[in-house]
Amino acid sequence: MHIEQSVEQRVEQIKEDLALFDNDLEKYEYIIDLGKQLDALESCHEKEENLVQGCTSKVWLVCEIKEGKLIFKANSNAMIVKGLVYILIYLFSDLTPKEILSTDLNILKQLNLIEIITPNRQSGVTGMLKRIKEYAYAFDKKQ
Protein backbone atom coordinates (compact mmCIF):
# COMPACT_ATOMS: atom_id res chain seq x y z
CA MET A 1 0.00 0.00 0.00
CA HIS A 2 1.64 3.28 -1.08
CA ILE A 3 -0.29 6.42 -0.25
CA GLU A 4 0.55 10.05 -0.95
CA GLN A 5 -2.35 11.67 0.92
CA SER A 6 -2.14 13.31 4.35
CA VAL A 7 -3.76 11.54 7.32
CA GLU A 8 -6.62 14.04 7.20
CA GLN A 9 -7.26 13.25 3.54
CA ARG A 10 -7.12 9.51 4.22
CA VAL A 11 -9.63 9.84 7.07
CA GLU A 12 -11.90 11.83 4.79
CA GLN A 13 -11.63 9.14 2.12
CA ILE A 14 -12.66 6.32 4.51
CA LYS A 15 -15.41 8.50 5.93
CA GLU A 16 -16.81 9.10 2.45
CA ASP A 17 -16.63 5.40 1.63
CA LEU A 18 -18.45 4.40 4.82
CA ALA A 19 -21.11 7.05 4.21
CA LEU A 20 -22.13 5.25 1.02
CA PHE A 21 -23.80 2.51 3.04
CA ASP A 22 -27.25 2.79 4.52
CA ASN A 23 -26.97 0.30 7.34
CA ASP A 24 -24.43 -1.31 9.65
CA LEU A 25 -24.55 -4.69 7.93
CA GLU A 26 -23.54 -3.11 4.62
CA LYS A 27 -20.75 -1.19 6.38
CA TYR A 28 -19.50 -4.45 7.84
CA GLU A 29 -19.59 -6.10 4.42
CA TYR A 30 -17.43 -3.24 3.15
CA ILE A 31 -15.00 -3.57 6.09
CA ILE A 32 -14.79 -7.34 5.54
CA ASP A 33 -14.04 -6.76 1.86
CA LEU A 34 -11.24 -4.39 2.86
CA GLY A 35 -9.87 -7.12 5.12
CA LYS A 36 -9.81 -9.52 2.20
CA GLN A 37 -7.56 -7.04 0.34
CA LEU A 38 -5.03 -6.81 3.18
CA ASP A 39 -1.50 -7.63 2.01
CA ALA A 40 -0.43 -11.04 3.27
CA LEU A 41 1.76 -11.15 6.35
CA GLU A 42 4.50 -13.77 6.25
CA SER A 43 3.60 -16.53 8.70
CA CYS A 44 6.96 -16.12 10.47
CA HIS A 45 5.63 -12.79 11.81
CA GLU A 46 2.60 -14.43 13.44
CA LYS A 47 4.29 -14.88 16.78
CA GLU A 48 3.63 -13.87 20.37
CA GLU A 49 5.84 -10.74 20.38
CA ASN A 50 3.90 -9.25 17.44
CA LEU A 51 0.47 -9.81 19.03
CA VAL A 52 -1.45 -6.63 19.83
CA GLN A 53 -2.76 -6.41 23.39
CA GLY A 54 -6.42 -5.63 24.00
CA CYS A 55 -7.84 -7.42 20.98
CA THR A 56 -10.42 -10.15 21.55
CA SER A 57 -9.23 -11.69 18.29
CA LYS A 58 -5.58 -12.22 17.45
CA VAL A 59 -3.86 -9.35 15.62
CA TRP A 60 -0.21 -9.48 14.59
CA LEU A 61 1.31 -6.12 13.67
CA VAL A 62 4.83 -5.56 12.33
CA CYS A 63 6.56 -2.45 11.07
CA GLU A 64 9.56 -1.61 8.94
CA ILE A 65 11.05 1.67 7.79
CA LYS A 66 11.71 2.46 4.12
CA GLU A 67 13.17 5.75 3.01
CA GLY A 68 12.29 7.30 6.35
CA LYS A 69 8.64 6.21 6.24
CA LEU A 70 6.98 3.50 8.31
CA ILE A 71 5.36 0.57 6.53
CA PHE A 72 2.96 -1.52 8.59
CA LYS A 73 1.89 -5.08 7.88
CA ALA A 74 -0.63 -7.05 9.87
CA ASN A 75 -2.97 -10.02 9.97
CA SER A 76 -5.81 -11.23 12.15
CA ASN A 77 -7.69 -14.48 12.65
CA ALA A 78 -10.99 -12.56 12.37
CA MET A 79 -12.27 -11.04 9.14
CA ILE A 80 -13.89 -7.93 10.65
CA VAL A 81 -10.74 -7.15 12.60
CA LYS A 82 -8.73 -7.63 9.40
CA GLY A 83 -10.90 -4.94 7.83
CA LEU A 84 -10.29 -2.59 10.76
CA VAL A 85 -6.58 -3.36 10.53
CA TYR A 86 -6.70 -2.50 6.82
CA ILE A 87 -8.19 0.90 7.68
CA LEU A 88 -5.55 1.62 10.33
CA ILE A 89 -2.73 0.59 8.02
CA TYR A 90 -4.23 2.73 5.26
CA LEU A 91 -4.31 5.68 7.68
CA PHE A 92 -0.84 5.33 9.15
CA SER A 93 1.43 3.63 6.60
CA ASP A 94 3.81 5.68 4.49
CA LEU A 95 4.19 8.38 7.13
CA THR A 96 7.36 9.39 8.93
CA PRO A 97 7.59 8.53 12.62
CA LYS A 98 7.26 12.23 13.44
CA GLU A 99 4.11 12.54 11.34
CA ILE A 100 2.54 9.62 13.22
CA LEU A 101 3.60 10.97 16.60
CA SER A 102 2.14 14.38 15.82
CA THR A 103 -1.23 12.93 14.68
CA ASP A 104 -4.07 13.39 17.14
CA LEU A 105 -5.53 9.91 17.38
CA ASN A 106 -8.93 11.43 18.15
CA ILE A 107 -9.05 11.97 14.40
CA LEU A 108 -10.41 8.42 14.24
CA LYS A 109 -13.58 9.54 15.99
CA GLN A 110 -14.53 11.24 12.73
CA LEU A 111 -14.94 7.81 11.18
CA ASN A 112 -17.72 7.01 13.64
CA LEU A 113 -16.31 3.53 13.96
CA ILE A 114 -17.41 3.59 17.58
CA GLU A 115 -20.98 3.43 16.36
CA ILE A 116 -20.40 0.19 14.55
CA ILE A 117 -17.73 -1.69 16.44
CA THR A 118 -18.34 -3.45 19.72
CA PRO A 119 -16.78 -2.14 22.96
CA ASN A 120 -14.44 -5.17 22.99
CA ARG A 121 -13.20 -4.31 19.53
CA GLN A 122 -12.82 -0.65 20.46
CA SER A 123 -10.18 -1.65 22.99
CA GLY A 124 -8.57 -3.70 20.22
CA VAL A 125 -8.42 -0.62 17.97
CA THR A 126 -6.95 1.34 20.89
CA GLY A 127 -4.38 -1.44 21.33
CA MET A 128 -3.44 -1.27 17.64
CA LEU A 129 -3.10 2.52 17.75
CA LYS A 130 -0.92 2.23 20.85
CA ARG A 131 1.32 -0.27 19.08
CA ILE A 132 1.54 1.99 15.97
CA LYS A 133 2.62 4.91 18.18
CA GLU A 134 5.15 2.69 19.97
CA TYR A 135 6.70 1.72 16.64
CA ALA A 136 6.78 5.38 15.57
CA TYR A 137 8.41 6.36 18.86
CA ALA A 138 11.02 3.59 18.61
CA PHE A 139 11.96 4.43 15.00
CA ASP A 140 12.00 8.15 15.75
CA LYS A 141 14.51 7.56 18.56
CA LYS A 142 16.72 5.49 16.27
CA GLN A 143 16.89 8.22 13.62
Partner 1 sequence: MYKEFFDYFQNNKNVYLDNAATTQKPKEVLQIMQDYYTKFCANTHRSNYSSANKATQLYEESREYLQKFINAKSAHEIVFTKGVTESINFIASSFVANKFATVIISTLEHHSNIVPWHMLGKSLNHGLAVVNCDENLNFDMKHFESLLKQHPKSFISLAHISNAFGKILPIKDITALAHKYDSVVMIDGAQALAHIPVDVQDLDIDFYAVSSHKSFGPTGTGAVYIKDIHLKDVKPYQTGGATIDKVTFEKSTLLDSPYKFEAGTQNIAGVLGFYAALKFINSIGYKEIHDKEMDLYLYLKKELSNIEGCEFYNDTAYSIGSLSFNIKGLNDEDIGILLDKQNVQVRCGHHCAQPAMQYLGIEGTIRASIAFYNDKYDINKFIIALNKAIDILRD
55 is known as an active-site residue: yes
Answer for which of 57, 96, 123, 126 binds partner 1 (CB under 8 A) is 57
Query: Is 134 one of the binding residues for partner 1 (CB under 8 A)?
Result: no
Answer for which of 1, 110, 118, 138 binds partner 1 (CB under 8 A) is 118
Q: What is the DSSP letter of 57?
A: S
Active-site residue, selected from the candidate residues 55, 62, 87, 95: 55
Long-range (24+ apart) CB contacts under 8 A made by 77-82 are 79/32, 79/35, 79/36, 80/28, 80/31, 80/32, 80/35, 80/117, 80/121, 81/35, 81/55, 81/57, 81/121, 81/124, 82/32, 82/34, 82/35, 82/36, 82/38
C-beta of 8 vs 29, nearer to partner 1: 29
| Nearest distance from C-beta of residue 57 to partner 1, angstroms | 6
Q: Which of residues 61-80 bind partner 1 (CB under 8 A)?
A: 77-80
Q: Which of residues 2-41 bind partner 1 (CB under 8 A)?
A: 23-25, 28-29, 32, 36
Cα angle 112, 113, 119 (rounded to 5 degrees) comes to 125
Which spans of this chain sit near partner 1 (rule: CB under 8 A)?
23-25, 28-29, 32, 36, 56-57, 77-80, 118
Catalytic residues, which ones?
Answer: 55
